[in-house]
Chain A
């Protein structure tokens, strides 16, 4: 069964950080040395100086159940590693030395979150939940090639918090987590020349990203989908050119075009 033992305990530890707001910091993560593909779950915390946000509990609930759903449904041997007191200041914290280190440790995704009270463009008070994602293998490419964005923040805002349904919907990350894990895993597998699995994950991620992006994809969504499509095509080309590979991608007339 995919759900790992200890996930509950890992996520429980997230709350220990909530009670004590602190400045962003990048503490080393102890569990990172475990073998296998890993998702690092950093602190979910109140933004420095802010008061307790009513979004915090909803965000904790959804991140924990979204991660459990991912592990149950993805079919991938993923480990969730809790990184206590680790608080990236922003996506730029994922610089080359850090990304190389994470990459070497088979980290495919790092997730963190903050909540805060803010104001909208008109100056009206709003509640904001921000989830940070670092797609480590994608970020690795970004630092080399300049695109696509592999570390970014997703903001969710609510003007009022009268409806619990709305809060839970607002901070739901199940689609994003599934899509980003598939992208990162696919990129990682391609680098290790595991073509069949890489193609499967990249093709899967293409569909998941399209679903998350919806009818009006953002510039970042479009860039990420384009990147995935190029890599899915590259898998086929590289497999055909690799003398050591003898599988389906070489033996059969698999198009280098789309996945569908």
Chain B
């Protein structure tokens, strides 16, 4: 019942009931936090504007031109939205929105532009500084098996997603290798699909009590918002204004089948939301809880563990399909590194941990200047001032120069090299100076050259 309604919502115009529900959504409920809503039309996208971070799940589409999977894309995105909402509720002030529409309406670029206020058409837009994660995906059906590939994007509205620090009295700034990436395609078996359909049917019944045998009614296929009022184990209690109210059972770690195991990107999304929640609070000078950093880090590590537990190769002449893409793997490590370095009262160990994570990311993307920049920044952070065994600020400056040689138009690399030279040249001359006279002369000349072109 639900699936038919949900999938048909993807192509038909707004019904009167849907339009009414949508109006109620915008007028009455936009300020809800830890809230969710399903079946919002992509052509008039909505997020909870008061929420610090929103997750938008777009329908998973069949790869263009290939067999469709009978509305499974809409059902999957609906289930994903419920699971995402449950996993991110702990961060507080979050929203999860599932959208429906045609592939053209649900183009992630188009939807994001509307939500950011760069194009007209959104019911609500993201406030400056608030975070957004967009998730979408592609299917491929062949002989009963399905391949699923997810894509993700994270951002804060109107803010460059940078990681900034001060070392040796100088500012340094870096950025993630990318804020949008593809995850690796995964094969889904017929058994997985059967389990998915059972889970979907179970999770879209709102029951009077947190028990499988309790009476229940299906969720309505209209965009009526709800919020989480309680959780008990795998059960989540949702509430709404004059609408649905009751308990939804989500898949749990104890179940033989769970969406999180099937789509490990769920943990990645949870980690990204935790990262953004922390960054939004820090930017707004509001209370950023260390627990958010821990929870986000745990989720990203869980994603990493999934990768490590995969068999290295199934054998045969064809190389294995990678469990993750290099970019997805590297960005995950960079997010953890930034969280480690930025968490309240970060210790030297935390900063060393950040540097190690940045180094691992750079090893995965050896051609990426932004990845190399993050490594050099952390090395400078550890070595300028108190120093750190085995690391040299001169070597970090040399690494920045080399990275700049591979990406000469990168403004952050140039600014960081300038800061590195200024910091090195301003170090007090002691009995064991950092720079020789010759190095001091060379660095001074290069600093002057940078000052001329910046």
On A, residues with C-beta under 8 Å from B are 1-15, 57-58, 60-61, 64-65, 68-69, 72-73, 75, 158, 164-170, 172, 174, 195-197, 199-200, 203-204, 206-208, 236, 246-249, 251-255, 259-260
Contacts and interface: CB of A to CB of B under 8 A. Distances in A.
Given A65-B63, A168-B147, A252-B450, A199 B408 contact: yes
B453 A164 contact: no
A65 B182 contact: yes
B449 interface: yes
A5 B104 contact: yes
Contacts of B449: 251-252
B442 to A, nearest CB: 9
Given A195-B408, A246-B453, A61 B140 contact: yes
Contact of B109 (A4, A9, A75, A172): A4
Contacts of B113: 1
B321 A172 contact: yes
Nearest to A166: B318
B446 interface: yes
Contacts of A172: 321
B107 A5 contact: yes
B320 interface: yes
Given A73-B181, A165-B321, A206-B367, A61 B147 contact: yes
A237 B246 CA distance: 70
Interface string B418-454: 0000000000000000000000000000100110110
Contacts of B187: 164-165, 168
Given A1-B153, A1-B180, A248 B66 contact: no
Interface centre among B138, B405, B407, B446 (most CB of A within 10 A): B405
Interface centre among B63, B103, B316 (most CB of A within 10 A): B63
A3 B109 contact: yes
Nearest to B138: A65
Contacts of B368: 204
B178 interface: yes
Interface of B: 61, 63-67, 103-104, 107-110, 112-113, 134, 138, 140, 142-143, 145, 147, 149, 151, 153, 178, 180-182, 185, 187, 314, 316, 318-321, 325, 327, 366-369, 401-402, 404-410, 414, 446, 449-450, 452-453
29 contacts: A1-B109, A1-B134, A2-B180, A4-B107, A7-B64, A8-B104, A8-B107, A9-B104, A12-B64, A12-B65, A14-B64, A58-B142, A60-B66, A61-B66, A64-B64, A64-B65, A69-B151, A164-B143, A164-B187, A167-B142, A168-B187, A200-B369, A200-B408, A204-B367, A207-B366, A248-B414, A252-B446, A253-B446, A259-B406
Contact of B151 (A72, A168, A196, A260): A72
B107 A252 contact: no
B406 A260 contact: yes
Contacts of A168: 140, 147, 185, 187, 321
A254 B452 CA distance: 16
A105 B168 CA distance: 50
A117 B198 CA distance: 40
A214 to B, nearest CB: 9
A186 to B, nearest CB: 12
A248 B67 CA distance: 51
Contacts of B107: 3-6, 8
Contacts of A207: 366-367
Nearest to A196: B409
A73 B327 contact: yes
Contacts of A206: 367
A3 B368 CA distance: 21
Closest 10 CB pairs of A and B: A207-B367, A196-B409, A15-B65, A1-B109, A248-B408, A69-B182, A203-B406, A11-B64, A61-B140, A254-B405
Given A8-B64, A68-B138, A208-B367, A197 B110 contact: no
A253 B112 CA distance: 42
A259 B401 CA distance: 11
B369 A169 contact: no
A216 B138 CA distance: 33
Contact of A72 (B110, B143, B181): B181
B367 A247 contact: no
Given A57-B67, A57-B142, A252-B446, 5 more contacts: A11-B65, A15-B64, A165-B187, A206-B367, A248-B405
A4 B106 CA distance: 11
Nearest to B185: A168
Contacts of B147: 61, 164, 168
Interface centre among A10, A14, A73, A236 (most CB of B within 10 A): A73
A44 B138 CA distance: 19
Nearest to B316: A166
Contacts of A7: 64
Interface centre among B151, B181, B446 (most CB of A within 10 A): B151
Contact of A169 (B63, B320, B405): B320
Contacts of A60: 63, 65-66
Contacts of B110: 5
B103 A8 contact: yes
Nearest to B181: A73
Contacts of B151: 3, 68-69, 72
A100 B368 CA distance: 32
A76 to B, nearest CB: 12
Contacts of B408: 195-196, 199-200, 247-249, 254
Contacts of B181: 72-73
B162 to A, nearest CB: 16
A73 B453 contact: no
A195 B406 CA distance: 11
Contacts of B452: 251
Given A248-B453, A252-B401, A5 B63 contact: no
Contacts of A12: 64-65
B64 A9 contact: yes
A126 to B, nearest CB: 12
A237 to B, nearest CB: 13
Nearest to A257: B405
Nearest to A15: B65
